[in-house]
Structure 1
């Protein structure tokens, strides 16, 4: 397939992260000829992060595949209504229906272990030092400490207030990677959302960060999506 016919890839990261969390897959996709941009989400509000994705879409050719991890799935569910978007890939992510908040989704199943290891300071939510293994416990100790040290902290009310009125998965094809050892989002919730969206679903035997602990599986899913749109 000629490079010019390939869709572009735009990433949206989750909470406690930044765009570099996709570093293990971005360089491979670039080498394969894809245009790739990773949005740097502010984590301040859903609108702000949708705007960041929209700016990223303006930097690549259309059509594009949006790839969202964790909270980034919530973001691409709203941002994916953009006409430049051809498909959605969810990585251990939140895929809301209209009117649902992240908190509404999380409450559908048993609370994931990470939520007992969060600190709220100055109105921000942080992963506690003893909680990083519940976020990315299948990475090396060095990698885990790097993730902890570079985390971004969202406002404490973000999970209770963010909502979208028009979920893009109702009009765009979607793919979903369920992380079977996820301690940040209940894997059964991921399966529920994937089934509700009618997503093509792949299960990864990983923590919450399959793009770091099993990048080849994530790459295969993105390639499949890119070839299907």
Structure 2
């Protein structure tokens, strides 16, 4: 990958995961000269996750590409209004508009029965262990899927009812990498959200965990976003 343009990249993971799944993307981008930071969001509330992302953005030394996977898409939609963010990359991610909740994005689209969430009495959810691989990481090896399953981070399910107050994609260029075998979100839902946001869409044959299973493809889109956003900011 050619690194001409914006150097800084911040990666935001989604629900049921942590930042370690970005290692392949991190390795590919740093090898091409990007400066990559990974936000470890706590998944305890929408406000907490946005605040954790903003702390990482505050540490950047210039224009930055902000990337979010899955629930991380909602987080970057809000956090992306930060003045250091030059572009947004959504990786099989939620892309709500201002005033919308993440849960509202599912309305009118097909259910995803293989993506099974077990919710505890405290309101935090884990992905069902038996359904984890087919629902989240079908194209991972059995060993890798087992590690992701056993390392998953529970999410406060209330986050999906929190409304976004501002949508960064309305003012900043956006890109979307969509997994064509995503079983967490209906394909039509992913395409609709990305198209509404005016994102440049790249389709990748992969599971919902494409950030982990297809890191080179994801990194290529991020690198392209860094080049193209640099041109738009200098214009």
Is the shorter-chain TM-score for this pair beyond 0.5, marking a shared fold? yes
Question: Matched residue of 1:6: which SS?
Answer: coil
Q: How far off its partner does 1:7 sit?
A: 3.0
- Deviation sequence 1:90-123 (CA, Å, 0-9, x none): 00000001211111101230111244x2211132
Aligned to 1:11: 11
C-alpha distance in 2, partners of 1:143/1:3? Answer: 30
Quote how far apart the aligned CAs of 1:215 are. 1.3
Normalized against structure 1, the TM-score is what? 0.94
For 1:149 and 1:107, locate their aligned partners in 2 and report how far apart those are by CA, in whole Å.
30
Q: How far apart, CA to CA, are the structure 2 residues paired with 1:114 and 1:99?
A: 29
**How far 1:4 moved relative to its partner?**
9.3
Structure 2 equivalent of residue 112 of structure 1? 112
Q: Which runs of 5+ in 2 are unaligned?
A: 230-235
Relative to structure 1, the CA distance from residue 212 to residue 4 in structure 2 (aligned partners, 3 Å threshold; closer, same or farther) is: closer
Distance 1:13 1:145 in 2: 18
Q: CA deviation at 1:227?
A: 0.3
Equivalence map 1:182-197=2 (5 Å): 182-197=182-197
Q: Is the 8 A contact 2:21 2:212 kept in 1?
A: yes
Determine helix, strand or coil for the equivalent of 1:157: helix
Aligned to 1:206: 206
Offset at residue 3 of structure 1 (A)? 7.2
> What is the Cα-based RMSD across aligned positions, in Å?
1.7
Measure, in 2, the Cα distance between the counterparts of 1:214 and 1:5.
Answer: 23
Residue pair 1:36, 1:60 contacting (<8 A) in 2 also:
no
Which residue of structure 2 lines up, in the alignment, with residue 142 of structure 1?
143
2:181 pairs with 1:181: yes
TM-fit CA distance, 1:57: 1.1
Cα distance in 1 between the residues matched to 2:211 and 2:155 = 21
Distance across 1 between alignment mates of 2:223 and 2:3: 13
Residue 141 of structure 1 deviates from its aligned partner by 0.3
SS of the counterpart of 2:220? helix
